């Protein structure tokens, strides 16, 4: 249960209490009644931005809720925080870094200063380098070592160096270049690289080693396995490696030590966080597979959302609305989680992508200045594409005991207009949001069962099971079509939503110290797994598990 008793800072005590009281007031109200009382509810609680429509009317909110939430954002200094982020201030205070993924999609004539230097020319220099490289791969000037054209791109990276490019490349499948395939290897489990390499020809494969640090254990292990496979399949000639391996990194010396030419390294900067990096050279696999024009469209879409986020008043600001609704459910209605439900098979990796973006950003238990929080922060993010989820976990959303606010995402037009597939998909998406909101009343259930000819006793027995309480909140995001531009906009919408929440919660959304401890302990255990001696230095469970593995 979320804690609602404390505000993130004393300045917010009054508005926090007002929201808590308001939550108690509207707690019993049903959205079915809210819609019945107000035919203008959709118009009031929806807005369009170009080809994206957000309908947030199926939320447990009133005009008063949105006013109070807007006051909360104002009093938390959201406007100032947005300006700080865009201007390159070091708002990632624990790592002493600026947070400038927005600069990666800014036009060439923009100016964003970091340490007295405008970073935009660097951004566009690397974009041009990517453009040149993509053109050479596409038109056959860049070939494999035997002169054959490249047919397969393999991105080796993990976390932020994998999830974004993988999700976007999958989402933009209709835009893939003819004759090219993309593969993504992330897991250190040898199954991942083994299954990928089995499909490939060393003469026509290009590996991108994507690692900001170029030290990440999983990525370097996979990169070395890929290089060995390449050498084994190309006469063990090390001089050929540079035609088949390029790198995306901030660590030039480690890239060169691996055998990749400096000129085939695509740079990015410490002010690009891993999970916000798909807009940088980390997007190289995207640019290769869909073409640089489409990659630039992705950036342009994200930039349009940046301009909107920076300039629109809070009541008309899409990321602000979504972020404030997130806070509303988490802190005032006791909600623990949030589902991402794309009704588009191409967006099937979006839930996993947003899981990292949101949970790594807002999964924090201390404030910016290191005090433990006594209120709830980031929720659990989960989800799967529709309609598959309807035949699985939707049962819990409809009739379980956990409240699950959900985002439904649907393109109006499909890239695959085959028979009635898209009508069925769309109908299900909209029907679910209606069903979740309305539910089914006892009277409706009884009438339905009576109409089906059931006797009184059977109706009595079945009615509680067939009741749908409804009042389940959803946002619906309709995209005209899943284009690179609209996808860029959609991703940026979520990035900014996450930032809005972090500002209200007074936490640093841009560090991730929580991933460190496991890495440290894994290094120790790896050495122990290799040693001939029994492991004794841990608790009995850890010792027991290590020793069991050693005996196998």
Interface contacts to ligand G6Q, rule CB under 6 A: 158-161, 211-213, 216, 219, 273-275, 360, 512
Alpha carbon 327 to its chain's center? 18
Q: Which of 51, 267, 304, 360 is flagged as catalytic?
A: 360
Distance CA 224, CA 234 (A): 15
Q: Tell me which residue of 42, 73, 50 sits closest to 474, measured CA to CA.
A: 42
Nearer to ligand G6Q by C-beta: 111 or 213?
213
Q: Is 345 one of the annotated active-site residues of the chain?
A: no
Contact yes or no for 193/154 (Cβ under 8 A): no
Nearer to ligand G6Q by C-beta: 64 or 519?
519
Non-local (6+) Cβ contacts of 181 within 8 A are 151, 152, 153
Provide the minimum distance between the beta carbon of 194 and ligand G6Q in the complex, in angstroms, as a whole number.
21
Q: Is 391 one of the annotated active-site residues of the chain?
A: yes
Q: Tell me which residue of 496, 517, 514, 494 sits closest to 94, measured CA to CA.
A: 514
Annotate 33-65 with DSSP letters as a single string.
HHHHH-TTHHHHTEEEETTEEEE--SSS--HHH
Bridge partners of 55, per DSSP, are 46, 476
Provide the minimum distance between the beta carbon of 492 and ligand G6Q in the complex, in angstroms, as a whole number.
16
Distance CA 364, CA 373 (A): 9
Provide the minimum distance between the beta carbon of 504 and ligand G6Q in the complex, in angstroms, as a whole number.
21
Provide the minimum distance between the beta carbon of 450 and ligand G6Q in the complex, in angstroms, as a whole number.
56
Nearer to ligand G6Q by C-beta: 59 or 249?
249
Distance CA 74, CA 80 (A): 9
Q: Tell me which residue of 498, 499, 493, 500 sits closest to 478, measured CA to CA.
A: 493
Annotate 26-39 with DSSP letters as a single string.
HTT--HHHHHHH-T
Nearer to ligand G6Q by C-beta: 260 or 478?
260
Scan for tokens 């001696």, then name that residue: 533
Position of minimal CB gap to ligand G6Q: 159
Using DSSP, state whether 8 is helix, strand or coil: coil
Contact yes or no for 237/231 (Cβ under 8 A): yes
Provide the minimum distance between the beta carbon of 68 and ligand G6Q in the complex, in angstroms, as a whole number.
33
Nearer to ligand G6Q by C-beta: 211 or 476?
211
Provide the minimum distance between the beta carbon of 31 and ligand G6Q in the complex, in angstroms, as a whole number.
36
Q: How many CA atoms lie within 13 A of 148 on its CB side?
A: 13
Provide the minimum distance between the beta carbon of 248 and ligand G6Q in the complex, in angstroms, as a whole number.
8
Query: Cα-flanking dihedrals φ and ψ of residue 230, to 5°?
Result: -65, -45
Alpha-carbon distances, residue 405 vs 33, 42, 398 (angstroms): 19, 18, 11
* Angle formed by the axes of helices 13-26 and 63-75, nearest 10°: 160
Nearer to ligand G6Q by C-beta: 360 or 501?
360
Q: Residue 402 has which token pair?
A: 């956990």
Q: Which of 28, 391, 402, 516 is flagged as catalytic?
A: 391
Nearer to ligand G6Q by C-beta: 387 or 512?
512
Nearer to ligand G6Q by C-beta: 349 or 482?
349
Nearer to ligand G6Q by C-beta: 4 or 219?
219
Scan for tokens 């709830």, then name that residue: 376
Q: In what order do the strands lie in the sheet with 265-267?
A: 181-185, 152-156, 205-210, 245-249, 265-267
Q: Is 456 one of the annotated active-site residues of the chain?
A: no
Contact yes or no for 161/356 (Cβ under 8 A): no
Provide the minimum distance between the beta carbon of 361 and ligand G6Q in the complex, in angstroms, as a whole number.
8
Provide the minimum distance between the beta carbon of 295 and ligand G6Q in the complex, in angstroms, as a whole number.
19
Enzyme catalytic residues: 360, 391, 519
């Amino acid at each position: 249960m979320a804690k609602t008793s404390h505000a993130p800072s004393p300045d917010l005590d009054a508005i926090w209490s007002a929201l808590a009281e308001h939550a108690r007031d509207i707690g019993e109200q049903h959205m079915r009644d809210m819609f019945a009382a107000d035919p203008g509810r959709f118009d009031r609680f929806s807005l369009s931005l170009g080809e994206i429509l957000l309908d947030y009317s199926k939320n447990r909110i009133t005009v008063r809720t949105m006013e109070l939430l807007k006051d909360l954002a104002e009093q938390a200094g959201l406007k100032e925080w947005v300006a700080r982020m865009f201007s390159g201030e070091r708002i990632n205070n624990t790592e002493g870094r600026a947070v400038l993924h927005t600069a990666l999609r800014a036009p060439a004539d923009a100016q964003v200063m970091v340490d007295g230097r405008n970073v935009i020319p660097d951004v566009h220099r690397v974009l041009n380098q990517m453009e040149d490289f993509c053109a050479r791969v596409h038109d056959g000037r860049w070939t494999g070592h035997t002169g054959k054209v490249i047919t397969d791109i393999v991105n080796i990276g993990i976390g932020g160096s994998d999830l974004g490019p993988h999700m976007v490349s999958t989402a933009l499948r209709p835009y893939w270049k003819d004759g090219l395939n993309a593969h993504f290897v992330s897991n250190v489990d040898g199954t991942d690289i083994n299954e990928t390499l089995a499909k490939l020809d060393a003469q026509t494969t290009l590996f991108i080693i994507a690692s900001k640090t170029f030290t990440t254990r999983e990525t370097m292990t996979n990169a070395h396995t890929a290089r060995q496979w390449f050498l084994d399949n190309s006469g063990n000639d090390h001089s050929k490696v540079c035609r088949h391996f390029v790198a995306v990194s901030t660590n030039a010396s480690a890239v060169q030590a691996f055998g990749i030419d400096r000129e085939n390294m695509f740079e990015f900067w410490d002010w690009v966080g891993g999970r916000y990096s798909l807009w940088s050279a980390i997007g190289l696999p995207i640019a290769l597979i869909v073409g640089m024009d489409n990659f630039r469209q992705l950036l342009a879409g994200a930039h349009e959302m940046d301009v909107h986020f920076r300039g629109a008043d809070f009541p008309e600001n899409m990321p602000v609305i979504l972020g404030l609704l997130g806070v509303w459910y988490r802190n005032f209605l006791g909600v623990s989680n949030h589902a991402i439900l794309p009704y588009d098979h191409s967006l099937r990796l979006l839930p996993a992508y947003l899981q990292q973006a949101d949970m790594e950003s807002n999964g924090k238990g201390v404030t910016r200045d290191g005090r433990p929080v006594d209120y709830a922060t980031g929720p659990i993010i989960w989800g799967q594409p529709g309609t598959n989820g309807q035949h699985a976990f939707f049962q819990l959303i409809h009739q379980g005991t956990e409240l699950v606010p959900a985002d439904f995402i649907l393109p109006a037009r499909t890239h695959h207009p085959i028979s009635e597939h898209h009508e069925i998909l769309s109908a299900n998406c909209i029907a679910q949001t209606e069903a979740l909101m309305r539910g089914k009343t006892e009277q409706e259930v009884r009438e339905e069962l009576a109409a089906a000819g059931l006797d009184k006793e059977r109706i009595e027995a079945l009615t509680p099971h067939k009741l749908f309480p409804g009042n389940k909140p959803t946002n619906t995001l309709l995209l005209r079509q899943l284009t690179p531009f609209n996808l860029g906009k959609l991703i940026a919408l979520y990035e900014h939503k996450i930032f809005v929440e972090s500002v209200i919660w007074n936490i640093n959304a841009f560090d991730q110290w929580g991933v460190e401890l496991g890495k440290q302990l894994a290094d120790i255990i790896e050495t122990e797994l290799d040693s001939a001696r029994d492991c004794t230095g841990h608790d009995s469970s850890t010792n027991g598990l290590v020793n069991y593995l050693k005996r196998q």
